[in-house]
Amino acid sequence: MKIVFATNNKNKLKEIREILGDDFEIVSLKDIGCDVDIPETADTLEGNALQKAQYVWEHYHLNCFADDTGLEVEALGGAPGVHSARYADGTDHDSEANMRKLLAELGDNDNRKAQFRTVIALFLNGKTTLFEGIVEGRIDREKHGTEGFGYDPLFIPDGYDQSFAELGMDIKNHISHRARAVAKLAEYMKSL
């Protein structure tokens, strides 16, 4: 089955293709000729995922899915949450600036509990379905590792003593929030 993943983020696209394997042909926005930076103006992950998927459905009439992911830190009241990619003031997807701000906001706080949450909105033959994946863990006091992207060097998933960036993509792709949401998406699509 061919389906559009409403992203031009090469890291996300690679991750999704590796998780889904050969059962589906995943194409990006660029692959369908969409160079628009689709707005993400909702105040929830669900809203942003729906907004992106709906845009593709309305403008290209193609089956598609979109995701939005947030890092939710308990001591910060769930922040950065829906603003994770643009957490540092005046930036857009600047991972280094976002991580610096997160560490500064947490300071010496001993409550480092956090979770990554991904929401996927699927538009398939005019029907909308939502899928969610969560991985709980904690924020380390300094960055470790070089793999992955975003907050991966700071996030240590429960049950592990290394960050996502240290564990590597093979392990991350089996245990991550996105992997859990995509597994639900794949199971649903295979059941059709």
* Tokens read off for 174: 């089996």
Q: Which of 68, 140, 152, 161 is catalytic?
A: 68
> Is 92 tagged catalytic?
no
Quote the CA–CA distance of 164 and 152 in Å, as a whole number: 5
How many C-beta atoms lie closer than 10 Å to residue 121's C-beta?
26
Using alpha carbons, select from 53, 168, 184 the residue that is nearest to residue 122.
53
2-5 and 25-27 as β-strands: parallel, antiparallel, unpaired? parallel
**Residue 133 and residue 117 in contact, taking contact as beta carbons nearer than 8 Å:** yes
**Residue 19 and residue 33 in contact, taking contact as beta carbons nearer than 8 Å:** no
**Dihedral angle computed from the Cα positions of residues 93, 94, 97 and 100, in that order, rounded to the nearest 10 degrees:** 60
Catalytic machinery residues: 68
